[in-house]
Chains A and B, each alone.
Chain A
């Protein structure tokens, strides 16, 4: 059903009908799966990347200026690729690592590669916001660097980190939907195959509604957690 054959109201109505959801419903599972796995890996690598960027900075607790500049450049290069192109470029890598270039798992590699640099920068800026004095206080108590990271940098930046994670997860959702059209399956795939190629606007709308709900839900959860932490620390 689309707007050339039916009225807008009918299309909307159809977007909530059972036949549409028998098509869209199963793809939600695939999207949530890709999103969840990508999020786990993105958080893992993104946090590590962000910490390394801060710590090795010229003013960091373990300055390695040349390494820092090289790493920063790699991050910038990865970030300047549009996600779509990065996904295409990384398909051969998926073949080597996972053994095939289609399906959810094959795309997760590309998704992680496109989301980690962004989260790395977000984590970097969250940690940069910590007052330098707190780090000096920790140093003045003879705290080794690794424990400064675990006992000061991460806990002190936590509310800001949670907001960064929220942004990253939402970016993961968007990229996951995009990856759909490169054989990953999921909501993006359904939206493109039915909604775009076959002019089934009702299915497109249904897919978009699910995406909106996901984004909205995650933003609300992220905000609530960040606010909760700040309130517990009497910072707000």
Chain B
């Protein structure tokens, strides 16, 4: 690892133009993520965390600033190269977003089909990855037959099928119950260890960060107000929001989950 971080976000800005006027969601974000990190980004609803994550594979196009992954400047890619790059950045979602028209096998094979991998190799790869997420017995099921946790495992398998360098997780555990959340986080940690995959995850649940992440950033109103090792942020929160997060967590929801904070 050189002095340059694996993922570098510089002065990233994004404004949404809605009917109610302009809404500046990202106000100049700077972020560095090293290879092999499990990097957690936490913030309340509307803080801009999902938008930030979606700028990393340009599902959202930033107005200014740069995103660099490895030695590729994502923000400078044309459409074709962007698609090529996206094949190497997996993403999982809160609502799983599996294809109901396809079986588990064909959901996981989707990115491989898109990447133009020969059929025979697709089969070996899909079987291999389903074994990793422990869903081999569901290979011919449809998503409609699976539980939430199993669906997210398929989502993870699909995101990892094409051997990406980075996995983006957009509130991937927020629709799951606490037990399932932990088993999914355990799986992510396992993948991180086994494959050396860099994971960037966005969440509003402090427990997720505490359990899974090595580093974290706290985002509020489009600005990163605190970042660093999870341990140091936890032990010594500097900003009011971080303190609030940790306080809510201690006082109300000791066990597992910080609910989306109304009125905070």
Contact = CB atoms under 8 A, between A and B. Distances in A.
Interface string B64-105: 000000000000000000111111011101010111111000
B86 A156 contact: no
A148 to B, nearest CB: 10
A141 B162 contact: yes
A99 interface: no
B93 A142 contact: no
A134 B87 CA distance: 16
Contacts of B111: 141-142
B86 A234 contact: no
Contacts of B102: 155
Contact of A155 (B89, B99, B143): B99
B99 A134 contact: yes
B239 interface: no
A4 B245 CA distance: 86
B110 A136 contact: no
Secondary structure of the B contact surface, majority rule: mixed
A125 interface: no
Interface string A174-192: 0000000000000000000
A156 B93 contact: no
A133 B99 contact: no
Contacts of B114: 141-144, 147, 151
Contacts of B86: 139-142
Given A136-B93, A233-B142, A235-B144, A142 B99 contact: no
Contacts of A233: 100-101, 142, 144
Contact of B101 (A137, A141, A144, A158): A158
Contacts of B143: 234
28 contacts: A131-B95, A133-B97, A134-B97, A134-B99, A136-B93, A137-B97, A137-B158, A138-B110, A139-B86, A140-B59, A140-B86, A140-B89, A141-B91, A141-B111, A142-B83, A142-B84, A142-B114, A144-B114, A155-B99, A155-B101, A155-B102, A156-B100, A158-B101, A232-B142, A233-B100, A233-B101, A233-B144, A234-B144
Sorted nearest first, the 5 A-B pairs with minimum C-beta distance are: A234-B144, A142-B86, A155-B101, A137-B97, A142-B87
